[in-house]
């Protein structure tokens, strides 16, 4: 499995986000300091989405190998 495929799969698995919610994620939506990801509207892509807030618990075992 390629690194980007692994990252994509883990994002779906850990967040429970839908396909478009993951497709339109920006780095600005990720707050690594507080371990959170927010789904925000992206009107430039005609994506409104349902506002979602995901708090991730990051443990050493969840870090990439």
Reported as a single tens digit per residue, the pLDDT across 4-47 is 899 899 889 888 888 999 999 998 988 888 888 888 888 898 98
Question: In the structure encoding, which two tokens stand for residue 61, read together?
Answer: 């075992």
- Domain region containing 41: 3-60
The whole-angstrom separation of Cα 24 and Cα 51 is 12
- pLDDT at site 23: 92
Residue 41: beta bridge partners?
Answer: none
Map residue 15 onto helix, strand or coil.
Answer: helix
Is residue 7 a part of any domain in this protein?
A: yes
Is residue 65 a part of any domain in this protein?
A: no
When divided into structural domains, the chain yields a total of 1
Is residue 22 a part of any domain in this protein?
A: yes
């Amino acid at each position: 499995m390629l690194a980007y495929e692994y990252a994509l799969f883990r994002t779906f698995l850990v967040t429970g986000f839908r396909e478009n919610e993951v497709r339109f994620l920006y780095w600005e939506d990720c707050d690594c300091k507080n371990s959170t990801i927010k789904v925000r509207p992206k009107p430039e892509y005609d994506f409104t989405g349902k506002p979602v807030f995901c708090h991730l618990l990051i443990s050493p075992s969840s870090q990439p190998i």
